Amino acid sequence: MSVPIPAEDPRQIPNRAVVDRSAITDNVRALKTKLDEQTALMAVVKADGYSHGMLATARAALEGGATWLGVAHPAGALALSHAGLDVPILTWMYEPRTAEALLPELVAAGIDVSVGSMEMLRMVIDASRSVDRRARVHLKIDTGMGRNGVLPAQARPVVQATREDDHVQLVAAWTHLTDADTPADPATDQQVEVFDATVAALTEEFGPIPLQHLANSAALLSRPDLHRDLVRPGIAMYGYPPVATDLELRPAMTVTSRLALVKEVPAGHTVGYSRLHTTAATTRLGLVPMGYADGLHRAASTKVSVLVRTADGDHVVPQIGRISMDQIVLDLGPESTAKAGDEVILFGDVPQGPTADDWAEAAGTIPYEILTSINARVPREVRG
């Protein structure tokens, strides 16, 4: 088994992704105010908690009232279970080799597994036999996402097989919505129609399926009729609601660095690869030791602003020139009093400061990708 070798000592790096645990707890509490008593909340903590740190995020979400945890990878589910987080955990993304290696342990640990094909069900049954424990299965129905999930017309034999084998217990039917972040899009209603018809037919033939779940953050916030037994928010919990909401959610991650150098340059000075920027007048440039190798999106070059915290206050200044691998350049302005060592906030929870939404707009992507791009090279600091 290979283990990651730490390349750089985080204590010697000026960059930080500061994760505010209390923001996650408060955001979950706020999301719960939208739910009826009988609807549970599964905190989606896949992708290392959208890069916020899976365990810290999971604990913070449970404090806020989440009672389920969801992760794509079985390895994540096992890590949550090993950490003693004693709530139902669902995992949904595995292939035969992972299944062979991990499914027995998952089933033995009582972790719920998603099944989206007969092959996956067979793998789960084999695993549950090997550990002599009944597996809890969620049937994933592909209602239009075209990813993992059984097609409605092929769900019947899978459910029949769960009914015929004591090693598995069908606990839920679920699906994932393609366009819930565009509430006016009829795709959501089309998917729900397919889901409901499939579940109704299965229920009629094989008896009730205890749980149904389909709502992500967007559906949680905009479609109370889709809450059902369980909702699965991710992005809203991290402070980025994908649809309009009256809830006050705050970003849980603030990415910071420090100015490495401040220097005055004359008009006509070029900045960065391809000389993307030329100064119009004498100005002061600030160099920030963070770049696309840390997860800043190069596509956002020259289109974002960041916040510099100087002795005379906070200033939002533009990033100029091409974003490099390890550095970006700011136009501090000719009068700036900023000094090397001053704090720079790339995005996060700072009044007037840039957010992951701003970076997403600049880079032509979504805040999910901005957050999850902040990689292991940026040391995490958990607060709150």
Residues contributing to the site for ligand PLP (CB under 6 A): 44, 176, 216-218, 232-236, 242
List 46, 50, 140, 292, catalytic entry: 46
Say how many CA atoms lie within 13 Å of 324 toward its Cβ.
Answer: 17
Q: Which is nearer to ligand PLP, 41 or 329 (CB)?
A: 41
For residue 118, say whether it is annotated as part of any ligand binding site.
Answer: no
| Nearest CB to ligand PLP, comparing residues 214 and 332 | 214
Question: What is the secondary structure of 328-345 as a DSSP string?
Answer: EEEE--TT----TT-EEE
Nearer to ligand PLP, 167 or 232 (CB): 232
**What is the four-CA torsion angle of 376, 9, 57, 367, rounded to 10 degrees?**
-40
C-alpha gyration radius of the chain: 24
Question: What is the secondary structure of 3-60 as a DSSP string?
Answer: -PPP-S-GGG---EEEEEHHHHHHHHHHHHTTS-TT-EEEEE-HHHHHTT-HHHHHHH
273 among known catalytic residues: yes
Residue 256 Cβ vs ligand PLP, minimum distance, rounded to whole Å: 24
Active site includes 368? no
- Is 253 annotated to bind a ligand? Reply is no
- CB 59 to ligand PLP: min, Å: 19
C-alpha triplet 7, 8, 14: angle, nearest 5°: 150
221 vs 262 by CB, closer to ligand PLP: 221
Min dist CB 42 to ligand PLP, Å, is 8
Six-digit token string for 174: 């679920």
Minimum Å gap between C-beta 203 and ligand PLP is: 22
- CA dist list (Å): 18 to 51, 251, 341: 11, 11, 18
Catalytic residue list: 46, 273
Q: Which residues are annotated as a binding site for substrate?
A: 147, 325
Q: Which residues are annotated as a binding site?
A: 147, 325
